[in-house]
Amino acid sequence: MLTRRRLLGAAVAALVAPRTVRAQPRAIIDSAGRRVEVAGPVRRVFAAGGPASVFVYTLAPDTLLGWTREPTAEERAWLPAKYADLPELGRLTGRGNTANVEVVLAARPDIVLDFGVVGPTYVSLADRVQEQTKVPYVLLDGSLSATPRAYTLAGDLLGVPERAGELARYVDKTLSDVDRRVAAVPRNRRPSVYYARGPKGLETAAPGSINSESLDRLGARNVVEGSGRGLTTVSLEQVLAWNPEVILTLDPTFHAGVARDPSWRSVRAVKNGRVHLVPQAPFPWVDFPPSVNRVIGLRWLGHVLYPDAFPDVRDDARAFYGLFYHRVPDDRQLDNLLGGKS
């Protein structure tokens, strides 16, 4: 990882070094409706946050300058070494952002790219960083429905339109197939679901947020409805009152201990063994970050909620990982990945 002193030194060098003549800028309209002028070709991309780093890695990994955080040993096993070894650069977006203007300048990107929510907060950040660094900052809508269009736009920007088209078609086909299968499930067969985040399982996501979008797409009855938008913290008493039929969790610690915790034993999902650990590697399938990793997660979540409507996900996982993550998992890896049921 680069130290802050080295980053500052590199930033100063980047500012004073003579610049070569660049191609005539071209204007694009990003997902927020912003007109952004980009001098091509784009070969160096600074990902503004976790969702963007996953998105760029799936589309054009050789343009990705680094990860928002260093991959763990477990995550590295799922990534080709040349990409697992990319440096940690931090993130510009989200709570507790860890990157700043100096880090961006030191990385010498052709563009900064963000993929996710494109509301006023993110527009303001993009405009501010672009003004301070003079680096084009492109916002792409990271919602599931908008992902095919985001691939198309980014593929043109990064000079990989054919690959972008392939990924866009895969996502579009998956969304259509998932929607068709969910539509055939009667509403009275759709279970109530609680999405547990954190080691205590008491952080969750309300409907309508990007963090719960997979649940929304699957037509699940999120018990948190009415508790507000986005991520929120709830009490155990509230979870007991909701008494969900299914619990999904991102946290292996919570998943491993919930059945032994007397405080949780009366919850239907715990009593009936319907606490499911979201597949984790290299990026969790439901959230954290809410990026294109959620595409394969839709099929897994469909199988968890409606096993009669959704077949086993192993073959889909192999195809997705090979196409999007540049590495096909073996049978042992798939067993480990898909084994998280209480």
Is there a contact between 318 and 328 (Cβ–Cβ < 8 Å)?
yes
Q: Choose between 199 and 3: higher pLDDT.
A: 199
**From 14-28, 56-70, 173-187, the region with the lowest mean pLDDT:** 14-28
For residue 109, the enclosing domain spans: 4-175
329 in a domain, yes or no? yes
Q: Which of 108, 141, 175 is the last residue of a domain?
A: 175
181 in a domain, yes or no? no
Query: Burial code of 163-192, b = ≥16 C-beta within 10 A, e = fewer?
Result: bbeebbebbeebbeebeebbeebeeeebeb
Tally of structural domains, the chain: 2
Mean pLDDT of the chain: 92
What pLDDT is attached to residue 8? 41
194 in a domain, yes or no? yes
Give the highest mean pLDDT range of 1-5, 17-21, 215-219, 222-226.
215-219
What pLDDT is attached to residue 120? 96
The residue-averaged pLDDT of 151-172 equals: 98
Co-location of 168 and 208 in the same domain:
no
Q: Write down the pTM of the prediction.
A: 0.92
The residue-averaged pLDDT of 123-130 equals: 97
99 in a domain, yes or no? yes
252 in a domain, yes or no? yes
The residue-averaged pLDDT of 159-176 equals: 98
| pLDDT tens profile 265-311 | 999 999 999 999 999 999 999 999 999 999 999 999 999 999 999 98
The residue-averaged pLDDT of 321-332 equals: 96
CATH of the domain at 94: 3.40.50.1980
Residue 74 has pLDDT above 70, yes or no: yes
Strand 231-233 relative to strand 203-205, pairing: antiparallel
Residue 259 has pLDDT above 80, yes or no: yes
Give the pLDDT band of residue 25 (cuts 50, 70, 90). confident
Q: Choose between 16 and 191: higher pLDDT.
A: 191
Is there a contact between 197 and 251 (Cβ–Cβ < 8 Å)?
yes
- CA-to-CA separations, 333 to 82, 148, 254, 305, in angstroms, rounded: 20, 28, 22, 23
Residue 5 has pLDDT above 90, yes or no: no
219 in a domain, yes or no? yes
